[in-house]
Amino acid sequence: MVGTEQGRIVLCNCKGKNDAEKIANVFLGHCGPAYALQRHPNFSKTFLSVDNWTQNEPTLSIQVVDESLHCLRVQEPHGRLVACGSQNGIVTLIEVSDNLCVQEKSEKGLMNGVK
């Protein structure tokens, strides 16, 4: 999976025999470049992408440390733990509640319908 400067997310299949089979899907999700992609550790068809950072209000905000964070990584395969790396080199481990990492039965159908 790769993001392009045109805002597309291209899902590739390494086992494809020709160019048409190698490009499994193209998602048109952003007006500008897609800067980062991350698959969900439990649900491989679900992923997050990041574009131009123009979201003005946080969806969820958690104060981890006083300085800025530079990276994070979600635990695989469950997504319950998140490691955050700060500007000063401090790594903080956060345990996520079940409400944020366990998918309900009704949510699977909703996520499959997201385009």
pLDDT at 113: 58
pLDDT at 41: 77
DSSP symbol at 111: H
Residue 114 banded pLDDT, cuts 50, 70, 90: low
Q: How far apart are CA 9 and CA 26, in angstroms?
A: 6
What value does the mean pLDDT take over residues 91-103?
82
pLDDT in tens, 16-26: 888 888 888 88
Q: What is the DSSP string of 60-110?
A: S-----SSPEEEEEE-TTT--EEEEEETTS-EEEEEPPHHHHS--HHHHHH
Write the single-letter amino acid at 73: R
Burial of 115 (0-12, 13-18, 19+ CB in 10 A): exposed
Residue 57 banded pLDDT, cuts 50, 70, 90: confident
CB atoms within 10 A of CB 88: 10
Q: How far apart are CA 112 and CA 95, in angstroms?
A: 26
Residue 110 banded pLDDT, cuts 50, 70, 90: low
pLDDT in tens, 68-96: 888 888 887 777 888 999 888 999 998 88
pLDDT, mean over the chain: 81
All structural domains of the chain with their residue ranges: 1-52, 63-104
61 Ramachandran zone, left/alpha/beta (phi>0; psi -120 to 50):
beta
